[in-house]
């Protein structure tokens, strides 16, 4: 397939050449914060994960699009990443589940892509220099470079309020009732909760009074995009809920829960993005292979009266917290596993046990 040329420029002036793909009208330039994802499959789940709002995803696996797309794999109603970077974009959707090919899907949702890029070189650059803002597009190099110099990152950004649901909704039929605060909740997360509980999902803008008015047995804090330090109002709501209901948080929900418990967060150099990150359960010694997607982490030195339950074996980052005093626990990784693996789905059952007993049984 013949494609028009495109440029990718990072904020530090680095230039990469490639070909325009997806939604790529002439002159169109996409900006955002560049990160890389190491998953070998699950590109559709990644593209539709609201936690990628504001970011451009570089896929390290060289062939993307091989098995097409299907609505069953969407993690939200539409893609949320700003764009994608791939080495080779497959035009063949070789899978019985496929309803379309990836490029058609990108065009339908007006998501830009750049392919034929040396993604190995780009990934090594981001590893060495950290997540960088930048731009790419089917436009002259000087135009792309100018847009790259103006691109915004995720630091200090409240992206949650732009991805949360507009109205409450309900799922599931269970003995226990859970309210989930939607900071950018993934569909598989909703499915896992709804399989165990009667679930009410509320917008992230909800107050503590709004949550308690639903008389839940427990509260769930979802994943989401952006800088947790910019979400002081959301942290305040969680602080009010801490003494009222058992709480389980995942990813951004983990960071916000830690903040409500008095801890602080920091930005990782290039984040954790992939489905192959080893995490150790410090109580059992068990090692789980986990799916991850986050640029920020909890500062361990700021934790007081809270037990660290899990750590990342690659770099020692805090991956889980437990507080029986406050009837809460959280993990930095994604136990809903979309894309997989499924090692950590037991944590949803642990939440069930917490709600019933008022104690984290780990």
The CA-to-CA distance between both ends of the chain, in Å, stands at: 53
- Residues 34, 14 contacting (CB under 8 angstroms): no
Burial of 173 (0-12, 13-18, 19+ CB in 10 A): exposed
Q: Is 88 a catalytic residue?
A: no
Other C-beta atoms lying within 10 Å of the C-beta of residue 118 = 14
Catalytic residue among 75, 288, 319, 336: 336
Residue 123's closest CA among 198, 38, 36, 40?
A: 36
Catalytic residue among 138, 234, 326, 334: 334
φ, ψ (nearest 5 deg) of residue 236: -60, -40
Catalytic residue among 81, 115, 251, 328: 251
DSSP conformation class of 41? S
Other C-beta atoms lying within 10 Å of the C-beta of residue 361 = 10
Q: How far is CA 270 from CA 119, 126, 342, 349, in A?
A: 15, 7, 24, 32
Q: Is 336 a catalytic residue?
A: yes
Cis peptide before 339 (omega within 30 of 0): yes
DSSP-derived pairing of the beta strands 29-37 and 132-137: antiparallel
Other C-beta atoms lying within 10 Å of the C-beta of residue 4 = 10
Q: Is 334 a catalytic residue?
A: yes
Residue 199: partners with Cβ closer than 8 Å, 6 or more residues away: 170, 171, 172, 174, 177, 178, 179, 180, 190, 193
Active-site amino acid positions: 251, 334, 336
């Amino acid at each position: 397939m013949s494609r028009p040329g495109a440029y990718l420029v990072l904020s530090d002036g680095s230039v990469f050449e490639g070909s325009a793909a997806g939604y790529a009208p002439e002159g169109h330039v996409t900006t955002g914060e560049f990160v890389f994802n190491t998953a070998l499959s699950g590109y559709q789940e990644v593209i539709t994960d609201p936690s990628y709002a504001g970011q451009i995803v570089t896929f390290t696996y060289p062939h993307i699009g091989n098995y097409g797309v299907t609505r069953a794999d969407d993690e939200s109603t539409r893609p949320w990443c700003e764009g994608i970077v791939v080495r080779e974009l497959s035009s063949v959707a070789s899978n019985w589940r496929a309803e379309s090919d990836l490029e058609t899907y990108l065009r339908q949702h007006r998501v830009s892509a750049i392919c034929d890029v040396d993604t190995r070189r780009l990934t090594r650059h981001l590893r060495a220099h950290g997540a960088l803002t930048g731009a790419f597009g089917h436009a002259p190099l000087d135009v792309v470079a100018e847009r790259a110099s103006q691109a915004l990152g995720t630091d200090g950004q409240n992206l949650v309020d732009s991805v949360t649901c507009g109205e409450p909704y309900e799922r599931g039929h269970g003995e226990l009732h859970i309210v989930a605060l939607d900071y950018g909740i993934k569909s598989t997360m909703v499915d896992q909760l709804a399989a165990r509980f009667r679930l009410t999902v509320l917008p992230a803008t909800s107050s503590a009074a709004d949550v308690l008015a639903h008389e839940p047995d427990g509260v769930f804090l979802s994943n989401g995009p952006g800088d947790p330090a910019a979400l002081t109002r959301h942290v305040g709501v969680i602080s009010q809920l801490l003494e009222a209901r058992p709480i389980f948080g995942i990813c951004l929900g983990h960071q916000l829960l830690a903040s409500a418990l008095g801890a602080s967060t920091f930005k990782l150099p290039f984040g954790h993005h992939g489905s192959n990150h080893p995490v150790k359960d410090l109580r059992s010694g068990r090692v789980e292979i986990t799916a991850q997607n986050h640029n920020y982490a909890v500062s361990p030195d700021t934790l007081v009266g809270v037990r660290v339950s899990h750590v990342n074996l690659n770099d020692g980052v805090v991956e889980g917290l437990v507080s029986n005093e406050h009837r809460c626990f959280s993990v930095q990784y994604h136990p809903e596993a979309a894309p997989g693996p499924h090692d950590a789905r037991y944590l949803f059952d642990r939440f069930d046990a917490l709600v019933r007993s008022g104690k984290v049984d780990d």
